Amino acid sequence: MRIERIELRLLRLPLVRFFETSFGRIHDRAFVLVTLEADGAVGLGECVADANPFYSSETTRTAWHVIEEFIAPLLLGREIDHPRDVYPALGRIRGHNMAKAAVEMAAWDLYARQAGQPLWQVLGGSAATARSGIASGVSIGIQDSFDQLADRVAAELADGYRRIKIKIKPGWDIAAVETVRSRHGNIPLMVDANAAYQLADAPHLARLDAYDLMMIEQPLDYDDVLDHARLQAEISTPVCLDESLHTVKIAAEAIAARACRIINIKPGRVGGHAQSIAMHDLAAAHAIPVWHGGMLESGIGRAHNLHLSTLPNFVLPGDVAASRRYFEPDLIEPGIAVRADGTIAVPSEPGIGVTVVQERIERATEHRLDLRP
Ligand code: OSB
Ligand code: MG
């Protein structure tokens, strides 16, 4: 493919419900949407960077800047054989994985559309999983009260979700888990701390061992590996890493250090689909199960996540849930829906295989930029 045009849009969509983590509460989602054009075909990628640098150092504006000034000039007018060549072509640019991923994922969508195949197939996903659908879980933010938390869990279980994750932080941890366990019994339950603790909190976090959690996600610093290994040696709840694993190499170091027993894969965090596949394969080779994380994506990023989730080592339910939990309406029609058995159907049309409503994109657009060779 010869990349002829890159379009950037800054979009803002109101969230159906506020979302609160250890780093704050948000009521809407701003993100950059990338459209790639080559050989008369288009591809879409959603940049998961948020308006603020609280989950990671990237923001919507750094992503825009890096794509406009550095990524686009490396790709525009250039002949690319395969989307797996995009990430290496951007090798001079340090970091900025979310910016890179948005463009790389658009290239995969474009490539799959040109090939007339659903994205899962060109990613090397399992045909059986593509047929049966992927197992879906939910991530429930910090609420205003434990009662509200228990009610949210009840509503999500009623919708069929196969795993509940609750966000924790100091002051909203043991009692939150206790509340959910006492009201909902032995459901598949895990917690995500988004880097809110320190190694000195190990005795406190060890109290979670009594609740038979599937895992604790990213308890310690966003860039840390070794303290997680020390923590894992002190608690029996499996540690899962999210923020810390920006590259396949760091994932290899974390596995070698026994810093995690489970890995959360988000293509935005690692630089796109090709890097996600590499991290997935590395984990599989070490018998480390993975699951697909979420970044409050619109239907476009969500569709990408669905396709990637068909790879065989995505054995745990992910944070890829129904559109209606986030945006009403979504940018796609119909939205992504969860079935009564807690699975989500994988699109079978070429590319990401969902129908984008252009008029909704126009309405949500705050800035637009066209880049050409
Ligand atoms: O840590 O997984 C996370 C959302 C934004 C930033 C980080 C995270 C999350 C979620 C939400 O947990 C997952 C989702 O429902 O998309
Ligand atoms: Mg997380």
Q: pLDDT tens, 57-100?
A: 999 999 999 999 999 999 999 999 999 999 999 999 999 999 99
Q: Which residues are catalytic?
A: 167, 266
> What ranges in 185-297 are assigned the alpha helix state H?
202-206, 226-234, 248-256, 267-270, 273-285
362: Cβ–Cβ under 8 A, 6 or more apart, which residues? none
Q: By three-state DSSP, how is residue 27 classified?
A: strand
Q: What is the CA radius of gyration of the chain?
A: 20
Ligand 1 neighbour 336 (Cβ under 6 A)? no
Read off the pTM. Answer: 0.98
C-beta of 194 in contact with ligand 1 (< 6 A): yes
> What Å distances lie between residue 82 and 88, 98, 121, CA to CA?
11, 20, 14
What's 5-116+356-371's CATH class? alpha beta
* pLDDT score at 276: 99
> Using a 6 Å cutoff on CB, does residue 109 contact ligand 1?
no
Nearest-atom number in ligand 1 for the CA of 217 is 1
Exposure string of 310-320, with b = 16+ CB inside 10 Å and e = fewer, is: bbebbebbbbb
Instruction: Establish whether residue 37 lines the binding site of ligand 1, counting it when its CB lies within 6 angstroms of any ligand atom.
Output: no
Query: Cα separation of 180 and 172, whole Å?
Result: 12
pLDDT at 239 (0 to 100): 99
Q: Distance, CA 111 to ligand 2 centroid (Å)?
A: 30
Listed in sequence order, the residues at least 6 apart from 199 whose beta carbon sits closer than 8 Å to its beta carbon are: 220, 227, 230, 231
- Ligand 1 contact via 125 beta carbon (within 6 Å): no
Give the integer Cα–Cα distance in Å for 80 and 3: 8
Regions of the chain short of the pLDDT cut 70: none
Q: Which of 295, 305, 320 to mutate to test the pocket of ligand 1 (most atoms within 8 A of CB)?
A: 295
Atom 4 (ligand 1): residue with closest C-alpha? Answer: 295
Superfamily (CATH H level) for 121-344: Enolase-like C-terminal domain (3.20.20.120)
Q: What is the predicted pLDDT for the residue at 19?
A: 97
For residue 109, the model assigns a pLDDT of: 98
Domain coordinates of the chain in residue numbers? 5-116+356-371, 121-344
From 13, 15, 20, 21, give the residue whose CB has the most ligand 1 atoms within 8 Å, as the site to mutate: 21
What residue has token string 């992503």? 63
Say which amino acid occupies 223. Answer: D
